[in-house]
């Protein structure tokens, strides 16, 4: 064996170890994420089928809009004792408001959502976002019912997935050296599944890496928003030091109107009430979204004093929030219509097969004694292929089997 070949072999062994362990640790969780993510791709469509999606009645376009103050009153009347947290629009539908109410501005359990018609201030629905099949799928996908700790854990699993993908790409070369692209050997089940694993893994590479990386970034959302408060809002709040939050909130309609007047070409995304994680104790924070395809994903925050309705500031969106907002569609696959959703689902299924075949190859790995035999049959399987110059001489498929098929 030449020294180059020795080094090559050592390098492959190291990458195989990396691929095996990063995959083994994450596989169960990634299977869970792929399976729970599948219905989430179609959550709007499933909501329509289940009748849980809010449908606003069609009214003439020039129907005047109800005052937000009235909208809030109507929603709060249904849940006396709860405080307002958010009022938001769906990205593509400003005909109704989702009003979120909670026991405190920061409460995470027992929150109530009321959908109120933005024109008539009539209650349209009281969607329950904390029960049912889709809720279970969502929670398993996002935080395993374990809050921030669950999110960060899944984020770490996402990081290991990226390691598994990179190491898998490195190993693609030695294991595919003697095969053509897309060649799936039919000699033995192991060879077939190894080839399928390599084929599906390399073809889904860019998509899986993108969805994995953006998913990981999404797990940091809570922390990123907390940092934004600390980084951007603390300076704006200096003049309020020592002051109590306003006892009586000023008109939210007026706050929304003065924020909208600041950027008339933008659309209303949502309003965060004082004391919530997206605002300060002293402000309504109005988030506007752009009306161009790309900047419709970006938000412009406008802080309005919740006591006096004076415009406080409109700090530009920092890069880390931009990164978070851009990473969301790339994870959800919701930005290219139904064909994209279907392709997203198919790529998700391909990833499930990559994970499953990887697990199968590992579970069915052979002991070293049997591996010798496997090497023989591997040699027999492709007798016509000469070993390329300067490479490890033993058949690659056979070596793969001795390493436990983790590659």
Partner 1 sequence: MSAKADSTKGSHFWHLWRWPIVMGVLSATGLLTALVSDGGWGDWWSWLGLGVPVVVMARFAWAPGKPQRP
Q: How far apart are CA 221 and CA 273, in angstroms?
A: 19
- Per the structure block, which two tokens stand in for 108? 């995470």
Three-state DSSP state, 392: coil
Only one of the segments 76-84, 170-178, 249-257, 306-314 lies at the binding site for partner 1 (rule: CB under 8 A); that segment is 170-178
Q: How far apart are CA 167 and CA 13, in angstroms?
A: 11
Q: Of residues 354-383, which lie at the interface with partner 1 (CB under 8 A)?
A: none
Query: Going residue by residue from 29 to 58, which x/- string records binding to partner 1, judged by CB under 8 A?
Result: ------------------------------
Question: What are the C-alpha distances in Å from 183 to residues 139, 179, 186, 200?
Answer: 39, 6, 9, 11
Query: Going residue by residue from 238 to 277, which x/- string records binding to partner 1, judged by CB under 8 A?
Result: ----------------------------------------
Provide, rounded to whole angstroms, the least separation between the CB of residue 205 and partner 1. 6
Interaction of residue 330 with partner 1, rule CB under 8 A: yes
* Strands ordered across the beta sheet of 93-102: 123-125, 112-117, 93-102, 83-90, 267-272, 283-289, 299-305, 311-313
Class of residue 327 by CB neighbours under 10 A (exposed 0-12, middle 13-18, buried 19+): buried
For residue 62, the 8-state DSSP code is T
Provide, rounded to whole angstroms, the least separation between the CB of residue 353 and partner 1. 8
Interaction of residue 4 with partner 1, rule CB under 8 A: no
Quick one: how far is CA 237 from the chain centroid?
32
Whose Cβ is closer to partner 1: residue 66's or residue 353's?
A: 353
First to last CA, the chain: 23
Whose Cβ is closer to partner 1: residue 196's or residue 371's?
A: 196
- Which residues partner with 301 through β-bridges? 287
Q: Of residues 175-234, which lie at the interface with partner 1 (CB under 8 A)?
A: 176-177, 179-184, 186, 192, 196, 199-200, 202-207, 210
Q: Which of 60, 64, 293, 368 binds partner 1 (CB under 8 A)?
A: 293
Whose Cβ is closer to partner 1: residue 74's or residue 199's?
A: 199
- Per the structure block, which two tokens stand in for 396? 């690659």
Positions that interact with partner 1 (CB under 8 A): 172-173, 176-177, 179-184, 186, 192, 196, 199-200, 202-207, 210, 292-294, 296-297, 326, 329-330, 335-337, 339-340, 343-344, 346-347, 350, 388-389
């Amino acid at each position: 064996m030449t020294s180059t070949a020795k080094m090559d072999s050592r390098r492959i062994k190291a990458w195989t170890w990396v691929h095996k362990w990063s995959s083994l640790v994450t596989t169960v969780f990634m299977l869970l994420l792929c399976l729970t993510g599948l219905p989430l791709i179609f959550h709007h469509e499933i909501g329509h089928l289940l009748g849980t999606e809010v449908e606003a009645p069609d009214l003439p376009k020039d129907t005047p809009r109800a005052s937000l103050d009235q909208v809030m009153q109507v929603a709060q009347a249904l849940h006396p004792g709860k405080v307002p947290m958010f009022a938001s629009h769906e990205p593509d539908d400003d005909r109704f408001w989702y009003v979120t109410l909670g026991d405190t501005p920061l409460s995470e359990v027992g929150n109530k959502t009321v959908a109120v018609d933005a024109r008539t201030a009539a209650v349209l629905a009281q969607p329950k976002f904390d029960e049912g099949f889709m809720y279970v799928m969502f929670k398993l996908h996002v935080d395993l019912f374990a809050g921030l700790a669950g999110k960060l854990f899944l984020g770490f699993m996402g990081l290991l997935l990226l390691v598994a993908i990179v190491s898998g790409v490195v190993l693609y070369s030695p294991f595919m050296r003697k095969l053509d692209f897309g060649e799936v050997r039919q000699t033995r089940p192991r060879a077939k599944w190894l080839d399928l694993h390599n084929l599906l893994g390399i073809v889904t590479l860019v998509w899986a890496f993108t969805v994995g990386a953006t998913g990981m970034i999404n797990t940091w959302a809570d922390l990123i928003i907390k940092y934004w408060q600390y980084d951007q809002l603390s300076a704006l709040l200096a003049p309020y030091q020592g002051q109590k939050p306003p006892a009586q909130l000023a008109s939210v309609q007026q706050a929304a109107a003065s924020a909208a007047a600041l950027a008339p070409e933008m659309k209303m995304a949502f309003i965060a009430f004082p004391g919530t994680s997206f605002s300060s104790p002293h402000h309504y924070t109005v988030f506007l979204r752009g009306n161009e395809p790309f900047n419709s994903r970006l938000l412009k925050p406008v802080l309005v004093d919740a006591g006096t309705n004076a415009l406080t500031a409109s700090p530009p969106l920092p890069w880390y929030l931009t990164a978070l907002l851009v990473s969301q569609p790339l994870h959800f696959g919701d930005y290219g219509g139904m064909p994209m959703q279907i392709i997203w689902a198919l790529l998700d299924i391909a990833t499930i097969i990559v994970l499953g075949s990887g697990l199968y190859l590992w579970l069915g790995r052979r002991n070293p004694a049997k591996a010798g035999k496997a090497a023989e049959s591997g040699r027999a399987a492709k007798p016509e292929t000469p070993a390329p110059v300067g490479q490890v001489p033993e058949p690659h498929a056979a070596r793969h089997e001795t390493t436990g098929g983790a590659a």
